[in-house]
A and B are shown apart, each in its own frame.
Chain A
Amino acid sequence: MWSIINVELYKIFRRPRTYIAFGAIAALIIVIQLGLKIDGNTYAAFLMKDINDTLTVDGKVLNGYLICYILLQLLLVHVPLLVALIAADMISGEANLGTLRLLFTTPFSRTHWVLAKFIAASVYTILLLIWLAFLALFVSMWVFGTDDLFLMKSNYVVLIQQNDVLWRYVGAFVFASFSLLTVTSLGFLMSSLSNNSIGPIVGTMSAIVFFTILSTLNIPLFNLVKPYLFTTHMNNWKEFFDIQVNANNEAIHGSILNIPKIKNSLWVLTFHIILFVSASIIIIKKKDILS
């Protein structure tokens, strides 16, 4: 099994397409960081304009931690597209190329090949996330420095001490890996249904857009299914940045406001990953390889 995972990883990282995602993330992050470095104070003033009259904030608001939070909010919506580019091509791309039959005539079962491909696509996804974390968090910390994290939510503000931030990002990135692996597994399922690359990539993105709309709209009928949709849970990495307060309304160091919500989201996402990968295995096992 290890040998075929190696083979799949080798193929992924020998393809020029693989590096498009790494390049795209680097370009986006650098452009945003550059913009905020040059004109960040104006941006910070704009963010603070509603509370300037009631609250005085000392220190460096526009620090590396806030920049990372802004970047994650922006990019974790777009990264699924980059993940789908590879994941949705893993099976259908080979079917299109005609190489699937070469793989399936080796002494490994189709289940082994599907799992090896999924694991390889997952490694790619995790590496993409690590690359994102490195650029968004560590480069931002280096360029903008660190201070307490000041976040403006819809009807309240959150202030997290700087020595209480880093572990939250670790948690947020681990959570984001589950979200992106759900996209990987969905792309994989789409890939097992098709013999060309474009269909599954478009299909994956369409499914994400469709379910995101269902998750966002506040219609009673949709509210019934929302808790079961993976798109409802994908952005819950933000829960790591909501903290508990004591009776004096002071933040409790090291606390998370709603741990059960995070746990529930992780379960729902894990269930979807298992469901999508299992469905892919069943489809591929039954499929006649005609390409």
Chain B
Amino acid sequence: MSVIKVQHISKHFGSLKAVDDLSFEVQAGQVFGFLGQNGSGKSTTIRMLLSLIHPTSGSIEIFGKPIEKNRETILEQVGAIIERPDLYPYLSAQEHLQLFAKVRKQRIATTNIKETLEKVGLANRANDKVQTFSLGMKQRLGIAIALVHNPSLIILDEPTNGLDPQGIADIRQLIQHLAKEEGKTVLVSSHLLSEIEQVAHQILIIHQGKKMVEGVTKELLDPQKRIVQIKTTDDANALQLIAVGSFSNYLLPRKEGIFLKIPTYEIPLLNETLVKAGVALLGIETKNSLEDYFLQITSNA
């Protein structure tokens, strides 16, 4: 079942196309990774999902209902943080949660508020004013606000911004817990790709507002589809040999270095071809992280 269904949405700010004909679906119980460099259109898309921005064209359905006509019903079941954790500096963490619990139509018990603060590691700072919080603590509180009403869809825009390594690991664990243990659907955006590849079932990469690739994370990390970088004694000659030979289909255009998207079993043959031509292979580096995949796609866009 699709929790989010986005069809051909675009958003133009004057002549700037912030989002350009973007379509995707997020299934129930899934952690959906939404990747892109800064300024790629992730936050604009998320704001459109939350009806903060009106799309220029296209349609958005959440829980099977169009957002523009069912905004209030839909948002009752959605928790979100958008970009920076902007909060009221004169209120405490607990007051924030009490305040946002009040604006939900269902009654939220005080115990829920305490549990939510514990979940994000802020229980010991519950009564401190937000003006004394670090960026990471504000980010945790922002996540707590998104979770306090126990939503079934959680949208987290760059949730690890400002967090230290332990904080990042905690958030990763929290996202996994929300999806696996509590059955929530989570859409998480980031430009820190290493974060997403560890938690997301499905990823979507956008660049300059356009969808570049969408797929199941495991499939994108399939060894048979991995990218290798080869280093030789004569890169220019090697590149020429590959470009005109039977390996030309595997060659990936990159500004620097020789990158190939080549099946593992073909690598010995490539090595043999290069050696025969007098080019010694110094090393083969397998680029098996999503980050390389992401960088390759966005650098060619």
Contacts and interface: CB of A to CB of B under 8 A. Distances in A.
B102 interface: yes
Contacts of B145: 102
Contacts of A11: 88, 91, 99
A288 interface: yes
Interface of B: 47, 50-54, 71-76, 78, 80, 82, 84, 86-88, 90-91, 95, 99-100, 102-105, 145
A102 B86 contact: yes
Interface in A87-121: 97-99, 101-109
Given A98-B84, A107-B76, A289-B47, A3 B102 contact: yes
A19 B301 CA distance: 55
Contacts of B90: 14-16
Contact of A105 (B80, B84, B95): B80
Given A4-B103, A98-B86, A289-B52, A105 B75 contact: yes
Interface of A: 3-4, 6-7, 10-11, 14-16, 97-99, 101-109, 286, 288-290
Given A3-B102, A288-B52, 7 more contacts: A7-B99, A11-B91, A16-B90, A97-B86, A102-B100, A105-B82, A107-B74
A98 B91 CA distance: 15
Given A98-B84, A102-B145, A109-B71, A288 B54 contact: yes
Given A102-B100, A102-B145, A97 B82 contact: no
Nearest to A6: B102
Contacts of A289: 47, 52-53
6 contacts: A4-B102, A4-B103, A7-B99, A97-B88, A107-B72, A289-B47
A12 B129 CA distance: 16
B54 A7 contact: no
B169 to A, nearest CB: 26
Q: 8 shortest A-B CB distances, which residue pairs?
A: A98-B86, A289-B52, A107-B76, A107-B75, A106-B103, A107-B72, A288-B53, A105-B50
Contact of A101 (B72, B82, B100): B82
Contacts of B78: 105
Contacts of A288: 47, 52-54
A289 B46 CA distance: 12
A106 B100 contact: yes
A28 to B, nearest CB: 26
Nearest to A113: B103
A78 to B, nearest CB: 26
B105 A107 contact: yes
B102 A99 contact: no
Contacts of A109: 71-72
A290 B71 CA distance: 18
A22 B50 CA distance: 38
Contacts of B88: 11, 14, 97, 99
A104 B86 CA distance: 13
A107 B104 contact: yes
Nearest to A116: B103
Contacts of B51: 104-105
